[in-house]
Chain A
Amino acid sequence: MFSDNINKELNALYKKFPDIKKFLGTLGCDATTAEDIFQEALLIYSRKRKLDDFELNVEPFFFVRSTCKLLWYNESRKKSNQQTYSLEVDLPQEVEDWMQKEFKILSIEKKLNEIGEQCKELLQLFYVKAWSMDEIAKKIGLRNDKVAKAQKYRCIQKLKDKVQEDVQVESLTF
């Protein structure tokens, strides 16, 4: 999934998880949530590392730690009734926008788990592993590449419908 360099970096960063857990603990975050947030931060870091225009001005550990802080801020803001920590400074608009996009993608990712294993596997084989439709058809037991292609559009449509449902619920709620 990751290149060898990024994989090594992520393994090295994971060894510093106890420091992150301790840091988030001082902000009122429990151990389980701390690991979820830490993994999310590593995911963001790995994606940033792939971007050509990404410039890292600090050590990777401090970047991940700052990301964890932002993620925990958002998490505690969502659970406002249980809020134990709030940032002392306002976030810049660009960071806010970036975070909103990240959460939107995260929300779609969660919906991906609701469209069925076959759809999820098909989309992953097509987008991530770049398999041909013929290979995918054989792998997941479809008649031919045309059927696989039609199935791919059905899966995308199913996912879009799920996202739309979510948007409608949010518009009704707020």
Chain B
Amino acid sequence: METDWSKVIERYLGGELSAEGIEAFEFELSLNPDLRSELDLHKMIRESVFRSAERLAIQSIGTKYHFRLKLKKWLMFTSVVVTVSITIALVGLNNGASESKPQDARFVTETQSNNEPQAIETIDSTGSSMVESTPVKDYTSPRIFRRNNDRIVENTVPVISVPVPAKSDDIISDNSQNKESAVKSPELKDDRKNASRKKQRLIFKTGLQNPTDVKEGIADSQIPSGAHWTLGNFMIYASEEGITFHNFLTDDLIIVGRTPKDQLKPPTNVPKDKEGVEETDPEKDKGKIYLQNY
């Protein structure tokens, strides 16, 4: 009986009863308080179903509100972090810029040492390039050439790091009699253009050619004896005493020379002063670097 009333009530609330049906049902309602309670319950069921859907919609509004709030907080936090990071970076850059103006040569050497690349692109005497991943610790301390006419004398195979100079005469010239091992200027110029675009330093390996070096497989990266190269205002001269570097650059261009430790060799002849050279003991002097200023 209850189920039947349930169906009638649903049809009544759904507007499915005929006019006569509505009249009969409402007459029954006026007589039957239980039916009135039942009708109220059905109305409340409908209400609760609506309300359930509405509650979901309001919860969805709440979820969106909290998401936007979190997003806002996250954006604020991120902007603060980015601002602080940029400030720290700018302060660091300013400090770095002030440190790059040293008062003496020793200070320059230390600073340059910290800035040395971990992987070194090497441009050999044939103009081809290769990348060395030798760690910095496997090289000697950097030797800085920046004062006019700085000169180093050694017969090892140093790695030379030359800033890409914005000079008009940035060509490599060669007066070597052995043309096969001389630097191919156009190729190196191309490399220098690439390096300039990347704001890099030109780094190449050189050394004095001798039979020992040939055995070690580095002859192709050496200057033949008697040859000299110029790179802008920078000159490398090879002689029987070893390699001589001349730097005629101004103070704002720094050339760094380093030697792989496994290739260190004592010079055969080291200039004592301007007047002459002094014979040295190769075993005793092994690993020493001779720097002479003129």
Task: List A residues at the B interface (Cβ < 8 Å).
Answer: 1-2, 7, 10-11, 14-15, 17, 35, 39, 42-43, 46-47, 101, 104-106, 108-109, 111-112, 120, 123-124, 127-128, 152-153, 156-157, 159-160, 163
Contact = CB atoms under 8 A, between A and B. Distances in A.
B58 A39 contact: yes
Given A14-B65, A15-B65, A39 B47 contact: no
B54 A43 contact: yes
Contacts of A157: 3, 6
A10 B61 contact: yes
29 contacts: A1-B53, A1-B54, A1-B57, A2-B54, A10-B61, A14-B61, A14-B65, A35-B62, A39-B59, A39-B62, A46-B54, A46-B58, A47-B51, A101-B44, A105-B48, A108-B44, A108-B45, A109-B48, A111-B48, A120-B52, A124-B53, A128-B49, A128-B53, A153-B3, A153-B6, A153-B7, A156-B10, A156-B45, A157-B6
Q: Which 10 pairs, one residue from A and one from B, show the smallest C-beta to C-beta distance?
A: A108-B48, A1-B57, A109-B48, A128-B53, A127-B49, A14-B65, A123-B49, A105-B47, A39-B58, A105-B48
A124 B41 contact: no
Contact of B6 (A1, A17, A156): A156
Contact of A160 (B41, B49, B56): B41
A106 B55 CA distance: 11
Contacts of B44: 101, 104-105, 108
B62 A124 contact: no
Contacts of B65: 11, 14-15, 17
Given A47-B51, A124-B52, A157-B6, 7 more contacts: A1-B57, A2-B57, A11-B61, A111-B48, A128-B49, A152-B10, A160-B41
A120 B167 CA distance: 82
B50 interface: yes
Given A108-B45, A109-B48, A127-B50, A153 B10 contact: yes
B70 interface: no
A34 B229 CA distance: 83
A1 to B, nearest CB: 4
- Chain A residues touching B, majority SS: helix
B42 to A, nearest CB: 8
Nearest to B42: A156
Interface residues of B, number: 26
A14 B62 contact: yes
Contacts of B47: 105, 108
Contacts of A39: 55, 58-59, 62
A62 B10 CA distance: 38
Nearest to A120: B52
B288 interface: no
B199 interface: no
Contacts of B56: 1
Given A11-B61, A153-B6, A160 B51 contact: no
A47 B64 CA distance: 21
